[in-house]
């Protein structure tokens, strides 16, 4: 048998292969395991159905195959607090699950939370073998579910389509391993990289297709974050206004000195999502009272050496609130600070076919902002615009 030296993925390099991801490859799929990968691919497709509803839980899909190789049960995790994907699939399979196999995109839980442990449901159903794409990234529980199943004589194999499973739940992986949300920086710019300035005959720089995609991003993120400069200049409502069913993200404003107007749209627009304004002790108590009276919450955190809000403290507080993903929509100074402090994980640019020249500002502002290497993961046209999405590899 020829042994190939494994190439470590971007996620392993980022999160630390020795810490978590060394656990994920207990076995490689053999060349003959065609149906195993096909069943796991179906489980991944099912998991994606929870993209807008599963958070703060991960997206998980499951497929049950009977002893004759026929799919008899399918399921995905719909919402936090609801049944897990394995439970839905086992319910659908019924008695036909006995002696069969389970394909699941994330390691079954082995602890009591808002729902009972999935491992016990798998054992009770008489499943003979379990194929897991990725182990749980939480270092305190990783491998626990798989070990529990092995102790009951159930065959467990890990690693089929693992890279795809990790990519699907990158926010959950980041939250579990780094203790903060995954941060995506988003900028809509001209071809020469300017984010604002004189734009003829329109308020928006982007096309209608791009605006639709931006609202889809808002729907898929737990929180949207802007700086006080953007609030004063643009007065955004920071809500989801797409055509599909969705929820508003938590609205986050970074305001070191308490300048957010109580009359701003982020506070006056009706929404079930809270508005959090992160400030320092420099902000006045009277201003905080006015913000509270208009439905907002002021969270005072430490300040950095420059006197600005300490961004790691913001991310830590958001993580404590079970916010797994943050979409940073600007402005340029906020983008620069996240890059400067190595707190950004993904960059998304929307380029419009216009040149602004020296009448606009760069998408990143601040000094010094270090350079960073990126891995392109998506490039597509949206109407007349071009979207580029990349992971920041540092």
Active site residues per annotation:
86
205/212 Cα distance (integer angstroms): 13
Query: What is the distance of C-alpha 368 from the center of its chain?
Result: 28
Total H helices, total E strands in the chain: 13, 14
Kindly state the DSSP code that residue 309 receives in the 8-state scheme.
B
What order of strands is seen across the sheet that includes strand 61-65? 71-76, 61-65, 101-106, 129-134, 155-158
Spatial separation of the C-alpha atoms in residues 127 and 120, rounded to whole Å? 11
Residue with tokens 């830590």: 316
Cβ burial of 380 (10 Å; 0-12, 13-18, 19+) is: exposed
Contact indicator for 159, 26 with CB cutoff of 8 Å: yes
Q: Tell me the β-bridge partners of 73.
A: 64
Strand ranges of the sheet holding 325-328, from the earlier edge strand across to the other edge? 296-300, 275-279, 250-254, 223-227, 325-328, 182-190, 346-352, 385-392, 374-382
Contact predicate 339/330, CB 8 Å = no
- Residue 309's DSSP bridge partners are 303
Residue carrying structure tokens 């420099």: 282
Query: Which pair of tokens denotes residue 316?
Result: 């830590």
């Amino acid at each position: 048998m020829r042994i190939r030296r494994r190439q470590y993925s971007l996620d392993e390099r980022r999160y630390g292969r020795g810490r978590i991801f060394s656990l994920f490859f207990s076995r490689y799929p053999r060349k003959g395991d065609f149906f195993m990968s096909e069943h796991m691919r179906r489980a991944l497709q099912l998991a994606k159905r929870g993209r807008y509803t599963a958070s703060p839980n991960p997206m998980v899909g499951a497929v049950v195959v009977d002893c004759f190789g026929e799919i008899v049960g399918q399921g995905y995790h719909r919402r936090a607090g609801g049944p897990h994907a394995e439970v839905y699939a086992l319910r659908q399979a019924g008695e036909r699950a006995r002696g069969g196999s389970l394909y699941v995109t994330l390691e079954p839980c082995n602890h009591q939370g808002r729902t009972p442990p999935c491992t016990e449901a798998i054992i009770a159903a008489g499943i003979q073998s379990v194929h897991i794409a990725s182990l749980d990234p939480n270092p305190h529980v990783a491998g626990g579910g798989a070990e529990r199943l092995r102790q009951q004589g159930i065959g467990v194999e890990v690693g089929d389509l693992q890279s795809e499973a990790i990519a699907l739940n990158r926010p959950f992986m980041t939250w579990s391993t780094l203790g903060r949300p995954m941060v995506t920086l988003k900028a809509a710019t001209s071809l020469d990289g300017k984010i604002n300035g004189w734009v003829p005959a329109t308020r928006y720089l982007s096309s209608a297709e791009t605006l639709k995609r931006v609202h889809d991003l808002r729907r898929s993120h737990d929180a949207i974050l802007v700086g006080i400069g953007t609030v004063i200049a643009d007065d955004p409502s920071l809500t989801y206004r797409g055509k599909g069913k969705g929820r508003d993200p938590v609205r986050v404003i970074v305001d070191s000195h308490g300048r957010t107007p109580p009359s701003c749209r982020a506070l006056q627009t009706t929404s079930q999502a809270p508005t959090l304004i992160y400030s320092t002790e420099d902000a006045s108590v009277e201003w905080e009272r006015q913000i509270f009276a208009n439905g907002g919450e002021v969270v005072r955190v430490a300040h950095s050496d420059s006197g600005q809000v300490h961004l790691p403290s913001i991310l830590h507080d958001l993580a404590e609130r079970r916010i797994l993903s943050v979409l940073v929509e600007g402005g340029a100074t906020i983008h620069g600070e996240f890059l400067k402090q190595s707190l950004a994980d993904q960059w998304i640019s929307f380029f419009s076919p216009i040149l602004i020249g020296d009448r606009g500002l760069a998408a990143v502002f601040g000094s010094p902002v270090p350079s960073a290497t990126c891995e392109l993961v998506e490039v597509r046209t949206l109407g007349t615009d071009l979207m580029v999405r990349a992971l920041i590899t540092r």
